[in-house]
Amino acid sequence: MTFNLAEALSSIVTQADAADWRAAIRLAGDGLVAGGAATETYTDEMIAAVEQHGPYIVIAPGIALAHSRPSPAVLTGGLSWVSLATPVEFGNAANDPVSLVIGLAAVDHDAHLQVMRALAGVLSNSSAMERLHAATTPDDVRVVLSELATAAA
């Protein structure tokens, strides 16, 4: 059985409303906090990362991987999933606007590699991504992710 990304997600929110990119990252941070993966300080660190390095976290059309580096604000580490009802601009010329924000918190540089491998598999699977973009409830998202893990086994 391949790693099921649904089990690594501390929180899934669909059809969320965010006024701008900071609000969108804050939602992803709230998901990490709710799942006990990180503290609210980590959310501020994710926003600061974009302020410092620019909107490079928008790594594919419509997809932002919000994250900062391992820090005391990371508790267990984890992932959160936020799909937006209305896409927001991050200022990334190639890949705006963003409709999916994935929050990532890692305790060190190696612990989360299995999760990242599963995430890379999902995000590079265009038919799965179409279904995930169309998903309107957290259960829909879980079903698609679980099917992918089973199919890859």
Partner 1 sequence: MKIVAVCGMGIGTSVLLKMNAEKVLAKLGVDADVEAADMGVARGAAQMAEIVLTSAELAEELGDVPAEVIVIKNFFDLDEITEKLTAALE
Q: Which is nearer to partner 1, 85 or 107 (CB)?
A: 107
Q: Which is nearer to partner 1, 85 or 120 (CB)?
A: 120
Largest CA distance in the chain: 40
Q: Is 67 a catalytic residue?
A: yes
Residues 117, 76 contacting (CB under 8 angstroms): no
Residues 7, 41 contacting (CB under 8 angstroms): no
Q: Which is nearer to partner 1, 9 or 119 (CB)?
A: 119
Half-sphere exposure of 124 (CA within 13 A, CB side): 6
Residue 130 identity (one-letter amino acid): E
Q: How many residues bind partner 1 (CB under 8 A)?
A: 31
At 145 the three-state DSSP class reads helix
What is d(CA 101, CA 83) in angstroms, rounded to the nearest whole number?
Answer: 6
Q: Which of 15, 17, 85, 120 binds partner 1 (CB under 8 A)?
A: 120
Q: Which of 1, 53, 72, 127 binds partner 1 (CB under 8 A)?
A: 53
Residues 61-100 that bind partner 1 (CB under 8 A): 61, 63, 65, 67-70, 92-95
* Beta-carbon contacts of residue 143 (< 8 Å; ≥ 6 apart): none
Q: Which is nearer to partner 1, 63 or 82 (CB)?
A: 63
Among the listed residues 67, 109, 112, 133, the single catalytic one is 67
Residue numbers at the binding site for partner 1 (CB under 8 A): 49, 52-57, 59-61, 63, 65, 67-70, 92-95, 104, 106, 109, 112-113, 116-117, 119-120, 123-124
